[in-house]
Chain A
Amino acid sequence: MSDALKFEAKGLSRVFGHGKKATTAVRDVTFEIKDKEIISLVGQSGCGKTVLAKMLLRLETPTSGELLFNGKPIAAAGDPRNHWRQVQAVFQDPFSCFNQFFTIRSQLKSSFRLFETKPSDKEMEDRVDQALLNVNIKPKEVEGKYPFELSGGQMQRMLLARIFILKPQVLIADEPTSMVDACSRASILDYLMKLKQELSMTIVFVTHDIGLAYYVSDSLYIMHQGEIVERGTPDDVTQRPKSDVTKQLLDDIPDVHREWIKRDAPKPPDPPTPV
């Protein structure tokens, strides 16, 4: 078995419901994720990208098809915790990922429970501090704070701090930037790059914004209605798109240099007058 492949999927499908009401969320998908690679799953809402990500996380079971992790079937590990030690996730809404009734620090500390052997208390504290520094937050800033006391951008960084503590082999980032504003978005992407470079992590980046995907990833997968309709290097996919879905996605990004919606040009307003 080649050691270069992290995930391998063959004819993977997931169907919800049965009979007449059956909905196929992911249909006959085949792909490979290489070690130390950032891949992006791009598609509109409802195209099945989150379901696919959840299957990689073992939160959903495939209806049919085969999913190999490190060359072994994903269910072979037995206890899902064994899987989660190696595959972790960052989700869209950081507030729903933390418990409102406990301090952030205690929740970061409790992530050590996933390890088979818990380090000493002193070591845990040190590693939490270190992880916070990794995401540019002074440990003092969050001392004794609860999730609702921080902003969305800060909370998203707390989720990333957790990844710095757990150091999994694979990180699944499901729309990590869609709830934060433009300035924090750039810094979240920076941390993803840092995770890849410093901890040589494999990252699966799920997004609807092909511009972001182009920026971070080594290869792009475009999904539509449960199927992967196009794949390739970011340059190939964005510069020479083959499928209509990709063209549509590229076209829908409001870019400053291109006409986006046809419309009679509005009259330019007079420059504002002094106060």
Chain B
Amino acid sequence: MSDHVLEVDDLRVHYVTRFGAKIQAVDGVTFKLKQGEILGIAGESGCGKTTLVAGCMGLYIPPLYLSSGDVRIDGQTILGKTPEQNRKEVLGQKIAMIPQGALNSLNPTRKIKDMATDMILSHDEGADKKSISDRLSERFSRIGLDAKSVLNSYPVELPAGIKQRCVIGISTLLNPKVVVADEPTSALDVSTQKSVIRLLFELMEQEIISSMLFITHELPLLRHVSSSIAVMYAGQFVEYGTTEQVIFDGRQPYSRALMGSMLSAEAGQKGKKPIALEGAPPKLDRVIPGCRFAERCPIVQPDCATTAQEIRIVGERQVRCKYADTDLIQKVGGQL
């Protein structure tokens, strides 16, 4: 038994398109999540963040297929199950997800109570009505909701903030070991975003949830949320270290550019040019010989396009860049 809650070991996941092409969306991702740790995964749209999440949850529903690798929760693998087995034994209990469009993920024709009851019944068929309803009111009052009225409401009757709490409440009903928050705040304004993060912290303090994978494209948000950060690009981790290391002393051109694209309302920042990365991540339906970021890299060197980059240790964090330990890297981005 290891002290890691979630272990992902060289995970490779691919899609098969209807024309038969194989898209390697996640290509060799390895990380370990400790009890109580929050790991932030950052990267732009299409870099494989959401596919990685599906892979970690064992949701291999075609066209998504597992190529190789292993995912272990509490030392036990969760792969190799049918979708039905997976739903019954793994999802909700071991690993649960807070979806991206949390406000639209409730069924408008059913009461909150019914949806939450379904969640319990699907894992514990023998539970009787009384104990379920006690459990629900206890849990919903603990996350700061008026349990009686909220449970008997339809989603349309509730304001957005309460609905968000309900979604998080239902997702974490079975005290999952790992919670995956997939861009839980990307569609919200800054004030609602803050209240969602606050709720997640409250849940952690109450020990309803313990470890979390937090997926986002906003690096500054991760500064406050996570204890370590992995920056993802084209299906691979390009930098993986503690929050301080990645935010203030990034050693990979892409993570530095991601950091530099942020604007803040501080004095003297006006007129400062944020970095815009042109172009899009490479297509993954073929083998890329060199560094995957070479096409867009601001400090690209002649040999970058031909030599593949392995992940290695530079300054106590994992980096995938040949020039990570040279002065060249400091040229990217108005690092804060």
Contact = CB atoms under 8 A, between A and B. Distances in A.
A210 B265 CA distance: 7
Interface in B11-43: 30-32, 34, 36-38
Contact of A255 (B31, B36, B220, B241): B220
Contacts of A235: 267, 270
A186 B217 CA distance: 13
A19 interface: no
A268 B36 CA distance: 11
Interface stretch (A51-59, A65-73, A80-88, A256-264): A256-264
B46 A272 contact: no
B328 interface: no
B266 A261 contact: no
Given A186-B274, A211-B264, A274-B312, A266 B38 contact: yes
B34 to A, nearest CB: 6
Given A182-B219, A267-B227, A272-B241, A151 B190 contact: no
A44 interface: yes
A214 B270 CA distance: 7
Interface in B219-244: 219-221, 223-224, 227-228, 240-242, 244
A214 B265 contact: yes
B88 interface: no
Contacts of B193: 252, 254
Interface string A27-59: 000000000000000001100000000000000
A215 B263 contact: yes
B270 A209 contact: no
A181 B44 contact: yes
Contacts of A275: 10, 30, 310-311, 318
Given A44-B191, A269-B227, A183 B257 contact: yes
B262 interface: yes
A269 B276 contact: no
Contact of B227 (A180, A185, A210, A268): A268
Chain B interface size, under 10 / 10 to 19 / 20 to 34 / 35 or more = 35 or more
B224 A260 contact: yes
Contacts of B278: 136, 187
A102 B30 CA distance: 43
A98 B54 CA distance: 30
B197 interface: yes
B294 interface: no
B313 A208 contact: no
Chain A interface size, under 10 / 10 to 19 / 20 to 34 / 35 or more = 35 or more
B45 A181 contact: yes
Interface in A217-275: 234-235, 238-239, 248-250, 252-257, 260-261, 263, 266-269, 271-272, 274-275
Contacts of B192: 44-45
Nearest to A245: B191
Contacts of A149: none
B110 interface: no
Interface in B197-219: 197-198, 201, 217-219
A180 B44 CA distance: 9
A168 B207 CA distance: 56
A163 to B, nearest CB: 18
Contact of B258 (A182, A269, A272): A182
A256 B191 contact: no
A252 B265 contact: no
Interface string B162-200: 000000000000000000000000011111111001100
B258 A254 contact: no
A84 B188 CA distance: 30
Nearest to A152: B45
B1 interface: no
A239 B246 CA distance: 28
A190 interface: yes
A182 B261 contact: yes
B322 interface: no
Given A184-B276, A268-B242, A275-B30, A254 B269 contact: no
A205 B6 CA distance: 44
Nearest to B39: A269
A189 interface: yes
A215 B276 CA distance: 14
Interface of A: 44-45, 136, 151-154, 178, 180-187, 189-190, 208-215, 234-235, 238-239, 248-250, 252-257, 260-261, 263, 266-269, 271-272, 274-275
Instruction: Give me the 3 closest cross-chain CB pairs, A-B, nearest first.
Output: A187-B276, A208-B189, A186-B274
6 contacts: A44-B189, A182-B219, A186-B263, A210-B190, A256-B223, A272-B317
Interface of B: 10, 30-32, 34, 36-38, 44-46, 160, 187-194, 197-198, 201, 217-221, 223-224, 227-228, 240-242, 244-245, 247-248, 257-258, 261-267, 269-270, 272, 274-278, 280, 310-313, 316-318, 336
Given A183-B275, A252-B191, A268-B227, 18 more contacts: A151-B280, A182-B217, A182-B219, A183-B44, A183-B257, A186-B263, A186-B275, A187-B278, A208-B191, A215-B269, A215-B270, A252-B194, A254-B223, A254-B224, A256-B248, A267-B36, A269-B228, A272-B228
